[in-house]
Structure 1
Amino acid sequence: MGCWLAVTPGAALAAVRLAGLERGPLVHLVAYTPYAAGLSVLPLVGALAMRRWRAAAVAAAALVALTGVVLPRAVAGTAADVGGPRLRVLTANIKHGEADPAALVELVRRHRVDVLAVQELNAEFIKAFDAAGIQSVLPHRIVDDPAIYVNGGLYSRLPLTGVGVHKDDSGFTQAYATVTVDGAAPLVIESVHSCAPLSLADVPCWFAGLRGQQPATPDGPVRLLMGDFNATLDHSPMRALLATGYEDAAANTGRGLRGTWRPIDHGFSLPPIAIDHILIDPRLAVRSYEVWPLPGSDHSAVFAEVSLPPA
């Protein structure tokens, strides 16, 4: 009996993950699939040591299933270049405006960022961000009502055209705009902030926010989504969004297991998970990807350099 008690949780999680059955509290558990994959070897070893062959077979199946979905994220694809100029983008959730604005400006300067997506903006942070010098490096911007912390805004070195705010059924607002680099096709960029499943009551909002994201447009405008999706690559609505044609920059570069968020003020400690993403159109290519700490925030800043298709 003890052997089956050890084997069953991993097998159940594998079934939920593969079938996309996360509902209620399972949404939170599925976020930690990479850690479950690493731990799933333990029940197998225990079952083999006890010669419980049926339990061992179930444990082995769970191990294969979980590692099969997780391991590809740690394998880098072939570095590509699609022939046009490059664009350096950064996304940062500033935790209700609590992140250090000077530290974020320094990241932008040091890494020569062209476009910055910011989530959880408010009026106080916007003022402090200006005082820290963001206008001198990224003079163009679009922000929605800065009093709404769920706001996703954009700052850019390049002029922003076709600007607007996308609001889905979750009620969250996301700024979008078109950036045109000399010699490249126009690129539509959106600062994503999807509803967080902080409680069971928030799960419907979470589903609505992810399902309301803009799908990839392989035959239309070249598109890039970046921001806080509040979902990992193991969540079924996130996988459905990717299935429209996007590629995840982290997984593309073999860094898909790097966590981008961890709780810092809830009185408990959990390992980091990857819920901040840069999703690229299949006509783009990722040249580099990095994750950097952002003082004051529970999210890290996520960076990518992308190769743009020629005009």
Structure 2
Amino acid sequence: MLTPVFAIATMVLAIATLMPTIRSGAWWIRGFDFPRLQLLVLSIAVLAAQMVLQPIDDAWTTAIVVVNAGCVLWQAWWIVPYTRLRRPEVADAPADAHPRIRLLASNVLMHNRDTAPLVALVREHRPDVLIAVETDRHWERALDGLQDLLPHALRCPLDNLYGMHLYTRLPLHDAKVRYLVEDDIPSMHATLELDDGQRVVLHALHPRPPSPTEADSSQDRDAELVLVGRAAREAEHPVIVAGDLNDVAWSRTTRLFRKVSGLLDPRIGRGMYNTFHARLPGLRWPLDHLFHSRHFTLVCMRRLPAIGSDHFPILVELALAPGHNPRDAGLSPDAQARADAQAAVDGADPNVAAAPR
């Protein structure tokens, strides 16, 4: 009697596992990129239950076990890099490595009116750079109160859940708000001057996610990431890309971004640092990201306490310590990646004149 139960459960898990392999930007397909950890846990649970409760003594039950085991291995392939089972992609910073840059990024949730927790975290951790997204005039008034710590700012308050603010202790050069793909989705691009005079290029992003309430397809999000990835690869200075990318670290799109940009992910070999959903412990994945060029090594990376948003803030401190990262760190572009990147841009309607350079 248990065989049909395990067969149906395994079929559902197999479909959910295979959906992301479809080369489509449709939201209902791309959505299966997100819960890989949850699907892995479910597959292991079903597999363990079958091994305990049912004899594996015929071709049908053996096939169910094999399919479920395949789901476990496939999901694990994507998420194991974001555990301590892998060697870190980014080296730990030497104790004497300087200069350093500390960045705090937070999706504040525009409808969250309680600004005090984030302001308190900034005053406690004293980042050099604060990136806040989903910010409106209410949040701008609160964050402007941090100008004693972070006197330089780039502001873009909006009421559409895509406002963005950049505050920094470091002088800003060539700071611009750009609309790379959609007229109501801003991104911020600037060069930061470190204490020793070195300069770092910063791209802050918050593209629209594929979802039934936001966008039918991931096309515009993917195109924005490709445009910024190309700019990062061509930059003359060290580069940091940060923000709520509305994509998980292990998705095909994020892997494509890493191939196009050549940037490194400090989470690899250290942990997932799941920042969303702050109120649903069983349904969390890494949506808030920081990628950087190989010029940097990692001092520390922390998910900070909840601030009333549906995202946790994340704090990352980097050191300019070239030569310490493994030579094979990162993902290299190949012919397929270049074709996929061009297809992403061609499928959208990017504002080529606004593309960062």
Instruction: Specify if TM > 0.5.
Output: yes
Contact persistence 1:119–1:152 (CA under 8 A): yes
Structure 2 Cα separation of the partners of residues 269 and 292 of structure 1: 15
Structure 2 Cα separation of the partners of residues 212 and 298 of structure 1: 23
SS in 1 for 2:315: strand
Q: Which runs of 5+ in 1 are unaligned?
A: none
Of 234-243 and 9-18, deviating more is 9-18
Given the alignment of the two structures, is residue 15 of structure 1 paired with residue 32 of structure 2, yes or no?
no
Q: Report % sequence identity.
A: 21
Give the one of 287, 301, 307 matched to 1:295.
307
Structure 1 Cα separation of the partners of residues 6 and 222 of structure 2: 38
Structure 1 Cα separation of the partners of residues 296 and 147 of structure 2: 28
The Cα of 1:93 is off from its aligned counterpart by 0.9
Given the alignment of the two structures, is residue 126 of structure 1 paired with residue 140 of structure 2, yes or no?
yes
Given the alignment of the two structures, is residue 50 of structure 1 paired with residue 55 of structure 2, yes or no?
yes
Q: 1:105-136 CA distances to partner (integer Å, 9 max, x unpaired)?
A: 22122112000111011112111223xx3111
The Cα of 1:103 is off from its aligned counterpart by 1.9
Look up the match of 1:307.
Answer: 319
Q: 1:150-200 CA distances to partner (integer Å, 9 max, x unpaired)?
A: 122210001111111121223310122111213464111122111033416
Q: Which runs of 5+ in 2 are unaligned?
A: 323-357
Give the one of 242, 246, 263 matched to 2:263.
246
Evaluate the alpha carbon distance shift between residue 23 and residue 191 of structure 1 in structure 2; reply closer, same or farther with a 3 A threshold.
Answer: same
Give the one of 196, 199, 207 matched to 1:186.
199
Structure 2 Cα separation of the partners of residues 45 and 147 of structure 1: 48
Contact persistence 2:27–2:210 (CA under 8 A): no
Contact persistence 1:178–1:189 (CA under 8 A): yes
- TM-score, normalised relative to structure 1: 0.87
Look up the match of 1:62.
Answer: 71
- TM-score, normalised relative to structure 2: 0.76
Give the one of 116, 121, 127 matched to 1:107.
121
Structure 2 Cα separation of the partners of residues 21 and 60 of structure 1: 26
Look up the match of 1:32.
Answer: 35
The Cα of 1:240 is off from its aligned counterpart by 1.1
Look up the equivalent residue of 1:81 and give its one-letter code: A
Q: 1:30-76 CA distances to partner (integer Å, 9 max, x unpaired)?
A: 21111111221123234443311122111111111111211220126
Structure 2 Cα separation of the partners of residues 39 and 295 of structure 1: 30
Look up the match of 1:260.
Answer: 275
Structure 1 Cα separation of the partners of residues 64 and 288 of structure 2: 37
Given the alignment of the two structures, is residue 173 of structure 1 paired with residue 176 of structure 2, yes or no?
no
Given the alignment of the two structures, is residue 207 of structure 1 paired with residue 219 of structure 2, yes or no?
yes
Give the one of 251, 265, 273 matched to 1:235.
251
Structure 2 Cα separation of the partners of residues 184 and 65 of structure 1: 46
Structure 1 Cα separation of the partners of residues 66 and 169 of structure 2: 56
SS in 1 for 2:215: helix
Structure 2 Cα separation of the partners of residues 280 and 32 of structure 1: 25
Look up the equivalent residue of 1:3 and give its one-letter code: F
Of 153-162 and 301-310, deviating more is 301-310
Contact persistence 1:288–1:305 (CA under 8 A): yes
Contact persistence 2:164–2:187 (CA under 8 A): yes
Q: Which has the larger radius of gyration?
A: 2
Given the alignment of the two structures, is residue 277 of structure 1 paired with residue 293 of structure 2, yes or no?
no
The Cα of 1:18 is off from its aligned counterpart by 5.0
Structure 1 Cα separation of the partners of residues 135 and 271 of structure 2: 27
Structure 2 Cα separation of the partners of residues 35 and 72 of structure 1: 16
The Cα of 1:210 is off from its aligned counterpart by 3.1
The Cα of 1:274 is off from its aligned counterpart by 1.5
Structure 1 Cα separation of the partners of residues 49 and 111 of structure 2: 48
Evaluate the alpha carbon distance shift between residue 80 and residue 259 of structure 1 in structure 2; reply closer, same or farther with a 3 A threshold.
Answer: closer
Contact persistence 1:85–1:184 (CA under 8 A): no
Of 19-28 and 38-47, deviating more is 19-28
Of 239-248 and 93-102, deviating more is 93-102
